Amino acid sequence: MSKWEATGVGSHPGEDHLEAIRVVFGEVPGLPYLPELPARGVGADMVGRTAALLVDLPVEVQPSGWRLSDRPGRDHQRAVDHLRRDIDGLEELGNDYSGPLKLQVCGPWTLAATIELKYGDKMLSDPGAVRDLTASLAQGVADHCAEVRRRLPGVTEIVLQLDEPGLPGVLAGSVPTASGFGRLAAVEEWQVEASMRLFEAPVVHCCAPGVPYDLLRRAGVRGISVDGALVRRKDDDALGEAFQAGLVLFLGAVPGRDMRLPDPAVVARPAVQLWRRLGFEAERLAAQVVLTPACGLAGASPAYARAALAACGKAAQVLRDDPANGMQG
């Protein structure tokens, strides 16, 4: 069970990393996170940012996207510099912070479905390359978490989020080859389960249809982050088993792009409706559901990004302060 109430998915608009960090600590103080600003360009995107963490697997940008390279070059260094600058800003603004902190990285399967081999198809096409990638990422992420802990000694725990929007396609065998004329073979579930166990109790974020709830529960993840608009009644049994196992659901409750935000009770309603369908005790709702935007906020305005996080926090208070009344509404 968690004591978290609300947080963000990861990405923010603009290029001012210090302002984004201020917004995060101000609006979701219960579970702040290191924001990502992809608008800064090469190396600030989800894949490039995570590739900067890989151990002994340098990458570069080609017209087709990210690709393994023989040695670290300019593109790799840009990604490293962006991340280093962000951690410096986190240390500067969060030096007095005490509590949990969330870090987001691209998960191994979305990375493998995106990064290309030096002279060939995507890494996903080569099982040996996927094993190397996963091991490299696990080591790089462990080093990353350790550095953040050193920089912010008040952090009580690191909540690691693996972004896996490509996972349903990997499992379904729908990932296109580099040429685009074919599809890569589906990956077996046991391989995904084994890869998740290399990371310390991650939260897996997947904002695509077809989230593999049962697989992730079996893999021992601590939480699953989804777009609330994509949760269907057919998912109820799998979600019920996940909750019974103690998993936390990070439920995307407000859109990631500008709109008029409704009252907190309306934002909280999808969580209440889901909990009512599953038949769990009202008191458990706030302990096992964390409210977030539906996906990253990179496509929103800065003002909306702040307002969206604030709306999630206010809606989470509705679930916390009066769960029984919310369940009846």
pLDDT, tens only, 22-37? 999 999 999 999 999 9
Structural domain of 92: 41-221
pLDDT (tens digit per residue) in 100-129: 999 999 999 999 999 999 988 999 999 999
pLDDT of 155 > 90? The answer is yes
pLDDT of 97 > 70? The answer is yes
Which residues are within 8 A (CB) of 309 and not within 5 positions of it... i.e. 6 or more apart? 6, 8, 23, 24, 27, 28, 293
> Is 98 inside a domain boundary?
yes
Q: Rounded mean pLDDT of 251-276?
A: 95
**Amino acid in the structure at residue 71:** R
Beta bridge partners of 100: 157
Return the pLDDT at 2: 63
Return the pLDDT at 3: 76
Q: Rounded mean pLDDT of 240-258?
A: 96
Q: Rounded mean pLDDT of 319-325?
A: 69
Place of tokens 């697989």: 215
> Is 53 inside a domain boundary?
yes
pLDDT of 274 > 60? The answer is yes
Return the pLDDT at 322: 63
> Is 75 inside a domain boundary?
yes
> Is 84 inside a domain boundary?
yes
> Is 289 inside a domain boundary?
no
Which residues are within 8 A (CB) of 102 and not within 5 positions of it... i.e. 6 or more apart? 7, 31, 32, 33, 34, 158, 159, 160, 161, 203
pLDDT of 181 > 60? The answer is yes
Percent with pLDDT over 70 in the chain: 97
Q: Rounded mean pLDDT of 167-186?
A: 94
> Is 198 inside a domain boundary?
yes
Look up the pTM and report it: 0.95
Give the gyration radius of the chain's Cα atoms: 19
> Is 311 inside a domain boundary?
no
pLDDT (tens digit per residue) in 39-66: 999 999 999 999 999 999 999 999 989 9
Return the pLDDT at 307: 98
Please give the tally of structural domains in the chain: 1
Return the pLDDT at 329: 47
> Is 55 inside a domain boundary?
yes
Q: How confident is the model at residue 323 (pLDDT cuts 50, 70, 90)?
A: low
